[in-house]
Amino acid sequence: MDATHKTQPGRIVILISGRGTNMEAIVRACATEGWPGQVAAVISNRGGAPGLAFARAQGIHTDVLDHREFRNRETFDAALAACIDAHAPDVVVLAGFMRVLGAAFVRHYAGRLLNIHPSLLPAFPGLATHRRAIDAGVKWHGATVHLVTPDLDHGPIVAQAVVPVADDDDESSLAARVLEQEHRIFPVAVRALLEGRLQVDGLRVRTLAVQGAAV
């Protein structure tokens, strides 16, 4: 799963299900930081996903593939992969994509599929992470960007951000604090993968700096 430094411009495909603020952060960082690549497409499994409007306004190609129109996970995954592969991506990003993807799909994108999860994995995989963090009484919470493996919310960790949990936090105040950090770490991780600066050894990931020095 090791990536070498790349010289060709890379292509990013981003999958969303909802408001798409992480997608927005990646699109903006790609443009303003002059990444060696572009966001080639944004794909949603929900036609009404608010994030689609932002992508279209940026002139980014969008596709909608409604999972309810497929008879099972395998047929949806296969159609989704065909839709993604039409854009010849180097990096595929799950940015609030709320569908579990099957093992065959994940294997097809091994080493180029990134997910963001709103907890400090391996704590709180799955849903309702902020609620569960508050209920568990943790003092620190956060977000994780990881390479995707067939296991749910599991895989080599590329980046994490930590936020304190305040005594008076509720689910929405904690979610907002975590989301701010998601917008910071996700673009950094996507860019590093795009530029071939991730060295993966089992579950451990080392990110090389732009010049090749370890950070």
User: With contacts defined by CB under 6 A, how many residues of the chain interact with ligand GAR?
Assistant: 15
The structure tokens listed for 83 are: 């839709």
46 lies in the binding site for ligand GAR (CB under 6 A): no
What residues from 90 to 109 belong to the interface with ligand GAR (CB under 6 A)?
Answer: 95-96
77 lies in the binding site for ligand GAR (CB under 6 A): no
Binding mask 18-37 for ligand GAR (x = CB under 6 A): xxxxx---------------
Active site residue 146: no
Choose between 80 and 95: whose C-beta lies nearer to ligand GAR: 95
Of the candidates 69, 59, 101, the residue with the CA atom closest to the CA atom of residue 84: 101
User: Out of 118, 142, 155, 187, which residue is the one contacting ligand GAR (CB under 6 A)?
Assistant: 118
10 lies in the binding site for ligand GAR (CB under 6 A): no
Which range in 74-82, 100-108, 112-120, 192-200 contacts ligand GAR by CB under 6 A? Answer: 112-120
Contact (Cβ atoms closer than 8 angstroms) between residue 94 and residue 116: yes
* Cα–Cα distance for residue pair 16/138, rounded to 1 Å: 29
Choose between 51 and 89: whose C-beta lies nearer to ligand GAR: 51
Which range in 102-110, 111-119, 159-167, 198-206 contacts ligand GAR by CB under 6 A? Answer: 111-119
155 lies in the binding site for ligand GAR (CB under 6 A): no
CB of 107 to ligand GAR, least distance (A): 19
Residue in 5, 67, 108, 117 annotated catalytic:
117
Query: Based on the number of CB atoms within 10 Å of its own CB, is 201 exposed (0-12), middle (13-18) or buried (19 or more)?
Result: exposed
Residues labelled as active-site residues: 117
